Structure 1
Amino acid sequence: MGRDLARFNPNSREDFRTMTIMAALERAADVQSLASKMRCMSKRRTIVYRDCNNLIENTVDQLNTTLQSIQNNASFTDFDAQTWLSTALTNIEICRRSSNDLNVTKFSSPILSGNVSELISNSLATNNALLDTNSSTVHHGGFPAWVTGRERKMLQDLQLATRANVVVAQDGTGQFKSIQAGINYATSRRVGNGRVVVYVKRGVYRENILISRTMNKVMLVGDGLRYTVITGSRSVSAGFTTYSSATVGEFRPH
């Protein structure tokens, strides 16, 4: 990767953006390797270490996806790149927040000690100069341009719940009583890369839902804001970081 970057000769703003993303990806991969070799003894440091490891792995994936999409996906826009790069940068800040949450600020993850955030910020600034706000943020029927026509029709379908792949209901009228169990079942039996719709009937669901990167295109449909409620009880005082206390969050299976 380093040799490829050294040979890279940008001839345009787009090329320069690619070079900045390559630099950020190379550094993030180095940090990921360093982080994987760390060992922590205390419980709190172990929790932060776990969070930061997941976050740097996500960052590497997101930077790689951005780079590959820019080079090989004609439908990938500058707006898409800004979204992916922003997410990659947010991961670093969440790692820092995790250290503060559990009061282990002296614990220095390689993610924080490296210059990954600065390199991603450079990529964001370069990409921002390429953004054409008129074409990137245009809306169709109240939806962003990146939402396809088929997706818009699905989101506007008032009968979508009746065509759900899985029904979750606390009263036993569905296939599952747990949202997590419904998602796990539906995504494990998905054919192809189509969207999975999980209909969650009215009720208060007290659970923390984890969605892995392989569970893409999952849509939860409820009975309304006041009727279908998902709530978790994890908190910093109970030994969880902000990252791990999410009611609905992404995780990386190991």
Structure 2
Amino acid sequence: MMAFANFLFIVFLLPSLEALSNVNPSEYQQELNTQALILQACSNVENLSSCLSNFQGELQKSGPPTAQSIIHAALRATLDEASRAIDTITKFNSLSISYREQVAIEDCKELLDFSVSELAWSLMEMNRIRAGIKNVHYEGNLKAWLSAALSNPDTCLEGFEGTDRHLENFISGSIKQVTQLIGNVLGLYTQLHSLPFKPTRHDHNATTTKSSSDKFPEWMTEGDQGLLKGSSLGMHVDAIVALDGSGHYRTITEAINEAPSYSTRRYIIYVKTGVYRENIDMKRKKSYIMLVGDGIGKTVVTGNRNFMQGWTTFRTATVAVSGKGFIARDMTFRNTAGPLNHQAVALRVDSDQSAFYRCSMEGYQDTLYAHSLRQFYRECEIHGTIDYIFGNGAAVFQECKIYTRVPLPLQKVTITAQGRKSPHQSTGFSIQNSYIFASQPTYLGRPWKQYSRTVFMNTYMSALVQPRGWLEWYGNFALGTLWYGEYRNRGPGALLSGRVKWPGYHIIKDARTAKFFTVAQFIDGMSWLPSTGIKFTVGLGN
């Protein structure tokens, strides 16, 4: 297949190669390198000639071929393909014969729309780079957005689990085409991002600590600052939700729906004590929303959607947040479906640069769906049984308490199931300075996807964390491509002598490697976490 692709490539390039007959060798080599990169942008795509033609057309609009213009052209071509895929999927709505299929089709449309947004953000970032606008954080942005765009098509196809797969067969070709193109763009970016525009990274001391009490963001009034310090007196809010009618709204959904769309300033919703029985789906247009409750166990959002009812896992979430810059504090997100109903998400997060402070996520299987983009959790509680921190976001958990619950008979408790599918994705889970309180025999994680990545650092592990530490997904799948690590953990469950011997498992011995998984580097936290007002540790801490 590759030989045939190369043959097509040579035929496709004949005019340009002929035109190069009179140029000097260095220009000739540069043109060959450019054409090789164009082929890479279309590698493994089913309709190669069409892809090459589209890409060349986009490249001509982008000016002289450079690393920047090649990535820019690849982004434009991929964005167009993703938009066409949405149109294709929409045509199959009428063919769905079950509720689960209908939900899966709607999921696919929303997920591909996520990818379109993330590709558009990336394109705008490339435009700023090409215009010479300085931003040392563009590398983190592009890797985060392209990583998320690559994950969404997989989630789309996963939604057809439990169907006869006939609709999946109709749309899978279009979905796989988009997946391959996005993967190619991400690979190109990874290969070329340092040529010629690699930024200078700030080097943070491994034990430096940054606290919200040192400096508050500009959007906070004195009352807001008092709130983060633990007092609600004088708190400035934009809306109040109360079950007893003493606020502006009786449901959180109403308050979110009435919040401004595409906002660039923080919009604060105070949710008074109460149990709110609603499923909240905060769409991507609802940006920079902050939910503030009265505390864990006091302000509770609860639901019981689950896979056995016909929902896709993606759609079972009691609370789903997609708008950029979401913040929640002092709240509980709960799914009460129980272990018998299998996948049942309490909180799903697709919000880039989102943060959760003193929140509790409570469920059984698949409690916290850290689906995509950059996320931060501080002093949170997470309860579950099977794969209950899962997804393909880039997430850091600090000072969190992780609890196990009783699973079904013969089930094994696994805390994480991280879904990184490409070595170029900047995703993974970093659990730092936290606590695992296992009441059942417990494993730290298992590899949901080929390049699953999770680390535990400076974390207490109770005795029922199993000596092996980690569990296979099935057979030898991903054992050589995953990246699991442990660094300076403590407690009776943290002993390393009995740990798995997989090629992808690492006992991290040096601070430099561990530092990669900290807030400053792993989620580019210094570019956005200070503006949330939530305290965080920049480096490794103690």
- TM bracket (short chain): 0.7 to 0.9
What does residue 11 of structure 1 align with? 66
Q: How far has the Cα of 1:250 moved from its partner? A: 5.1
Q: C-alpha distance in 2, partners of 1:140/1:72?
A: 32
Distance 2:149 2:172 in 1: 13
- Structure 1 residue aligned with 2:172, among 85, 105, 112? 112
Which residue of structure 2 aligns with residue 93 of structure 1? 154
State yes or no: 1:178 paired with 2:251. yes
Q: Which has the higher strand share?
A: 2
Matches within 5 A, 1:1-254: 2=54, 4-7=57-60, 8=62, 10-12=65-67, 14-38=68-92, 39-43=94-98, 44-72=100-128, 74=133, 75=135, 77-100=138-161, 102-108=162-168, 112-114=172-174, 115-129=177-191, 130=193, 135=201, 141=210, 149-150=217-218, 157-159=225-227, 162-187=235-260, 193-249=264-320
Query: CA 1:142 to 1:203, structure 2 compared with 1: closer, same or farther past 3 Å?
Result: same
The alpha carbon displacement at 1:133 in A equals 9.0
Any idea what the Cα deviations from partners look like across 1:183-238, whole Å, max 9, x if unmatched?
122337x9x64221111122222211111222211111112233222222111111
Distance 1:10 1:57 in 2: 29
Say if 1:31 and 1:110, in contact at 8 Å, map to a contact too.
Answer: no
Q: Provide closer, same or farther for how the CA distance between residues 40 and 46 of structure 1 changes in structure 2, counting only shifts above 3 A.
A: farther
TM-superposed deviation, 1:128: 3.5
One-letter amino acid of the structure 2 residue matched with residue 19 of structure 1: A
Structure 2 CA distance for aligned equivalents of residues 247 and 137 of structure 1: 39
Please tell me whether the aligned partners of residues 5 and 23 of structure 1 are also in contact (alpha carbons under 8 angstroms). yes
**Secondary structure of 2:240's partner?**
strand
Deviation digits for residues 145-164 of structure 1, max 9, x if unmatched? xxx9536999x823366211
Q: Secondary structure at the match of 2:265?
A: coil
Identify the structure with bigger relative contact order (alpha carbons < 8 Å, sequence gap 6+): 1
Instruction: Give the Cα separation in 1 of the matches to 2:72 and 2:239.
Output: 41
Which residue identity lines up with residue 154 of structure 2 in the other structure? E
Distance 1:198 1:94 in 2: 30
Cα distance 1:229–1:15, how it changes in 2: closer, same or farther (>3 A)?
A: same
For structure 2, which runs of at least 5 residues remain unmatched after alignment?
1-52, 324-542
User: What is the one-letter code of the residue matched to 1:141?
Assistant: K
Q: Tell me how far apart the structure 2 counterparts of residues 168 and 237 of structure 1 sit (CA, whole Å).
A: 31
1:198 is paired with a residue of what secondary structure?
Answer: strand
Deviation at 1:166, TM superposition (A): 0.7
Higher helix share: 1
Q: 1:249 to 1:64 in 2, by over 3 A?
A: same
CA 1:85–1:104: 2 relative to 1, 3 Å: farther
Rounded Cα–Cα distance in structure 2 between residues aligned with 1:82 and 1:4: 25
Percent of aligned pairs with the same residue? 27
What's the CA shift for 1:19?
A: 3.1
TM-score (norm 1): 0.79
Q: Name the count of aligned residue pairs.
A: 243
Deviation of 1:27 after TM superposition, in Å, equals 1.9
TM-score normalised by L of structure 2? 0.40
Give the superposition deviation at 1:59. Answer: 1.6
Report the structure number with the largest CA radius of gyration.
Answer: 2
Instruction: List per-residue Cα deviations over 1:96-128 (Å, max 9, x = no partner).
Output: 12111x334332266632321122122223333
SS at match of 2:167: coil
State the Cα distance separating 1:165 from its structure 2 match: 0.5
Distance 2:203 2:245 in 1: 43
- Amino acid in structure 1 at the alignment position of 2:106: R
Question: Deviating runs (4+, > 4 A) in structure 1?
Answer: 131-134, 136-140, 151-154
Deviations 1:37-67 (A, max 9, x none): 2231402322211211222222222212211
Amino acid in the other structure paired with 1:224: G
One-letter code aligned to 2:227: Q
Shift of 1:251: 7.7
Q: 1:137 to 1:233 in 2, by over 3 A?
A: farther
For 1:116 and 1:70, locate their aligned partners in 2 and report how far apart those are by CA, in whole Å.
20
Q: CA RMSD in A?
A: 3.4
Question: Which ranges in structure 1 are unaligned for 5 or more consecutive residues?
Answer: none
**d(CA) in 2 for partners of 1:172, 1:218:** 22
Q: 1:224 to 1:95 in 2, by over 3 A?
A: same
